């Protein structure tokens, strides 16, 4: 029986740790050839995962990397825009430099990646793009106003890109995680444990999300089993957003 992503060439950003690393490992387990991109260098023993040191805000470097992958593989089937940054600030404490940096990484770089990779996908009849949004863009979150705005932009971008790229056979969806237990979560919990406990109690399924939960959703959306799904925002949040 064929694997879910057998022979698919997949690019994943922000893949050195946390959710991105789990997505890369899951895609490889499902049969994909994975190009795992991150600003920091990292290693892996998995022969199907190829680490690439890449700053996604450097458009020239991104274009060079994509063209090299396309030259080697002959096709690119999936892009997962996972890389992102967050500065948690209340409205009165928001700094312009931090907001600009979040929009550059979380929105502008994502748009440019979609722009470049869609041209390559179109040459081979289509592909799948999966953006990582956030439940904060749906529900709002005190202390995350600017960050929520960037992820709201990702949701709007996803829906519009899906309609524009559909004639080229390119599907665009987003996964909107809830609270996920990663290295970043541990740091947040240390600073705001009581408030986070209140949010956890509002999760209907009664637990935190895991990187695996997000990776499974991304793998499905990247696969041919989701061939008629595009323009959707899939909440992977334990029923916290309903």
Residues 6+ apart with CB under 8 A from 119: none
Residues 6+ apart with CB under 8 A from 137: 148, 151, 152, 154, 155, 176
Closest C-alpha among 142, 160, 158 to residue 221: 158
- 147 among known catalytic residues: yes
- For residues 175 and 143, what is the distance between their CA atoms, to the nearest angstrom? 22
Q: Which token pair is 9?
A: 């060439």
Question: CA 131 → CA 46, 103, 107, 206, distances in Å?
Answer: 24, 15, 10, 26
Catalytic residue among 147, 189, 216, 228: 147
- For residues 176 and 235, what is the distance between their CA atoms, to the nearest angstrom? 5
Task: Please identify every residue annotated as catalytic.
Answer: 147
């Amino acid at each position: 029986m064929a694997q879910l992503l057998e022979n698919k060439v997949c690019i994943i950003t922000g893949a050195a740790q946390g959710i991105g690393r789990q997505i890369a490992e899951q895609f490889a387990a499902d049969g994909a050839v994975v190009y795992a991109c991150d600003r920091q260098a990292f290693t892996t023993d998995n022969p199907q995962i190829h680490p690439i040191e890449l700053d996604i805000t450097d458009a020239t470097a991104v274009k060079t990397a994509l063209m090299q992958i396309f030259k080697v593989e002959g096709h690119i089937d999936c892009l997962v825009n996972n890389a992102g940054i967050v500065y948690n600030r209340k409205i009165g404490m928001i700094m312009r430099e931090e907001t600009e940096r979040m929009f550059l990484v979380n929105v502008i770089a994502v748009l440019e990646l979609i722009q470049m990779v869609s041209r390559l996908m179109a040459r081979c009849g289509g592909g799948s793009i999966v953006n990582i949004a956030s439940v904060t863009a749906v529900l709002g979150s005190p202390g995350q106003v600017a960050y929520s705005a960037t992820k709201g932009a990702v949701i709007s971008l996803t829906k519009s890109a899906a309609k524009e790229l559909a004639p080229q056979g390119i599907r665009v969806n987003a996964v909107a995680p809830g609270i996920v237990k990663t290295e970043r979560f541990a740091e947040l919990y240390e600073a705001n444990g009581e408030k986070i406990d209140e949010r956890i109690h509002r999760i209907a399924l009664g637990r935190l999300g895991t990187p695996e939960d997000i990776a499974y959703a991304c793998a499905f959306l990247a696969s041919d089993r989701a061939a008629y799904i595009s323009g959707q925002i899939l909440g992977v949040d334990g029923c916290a957003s309903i």
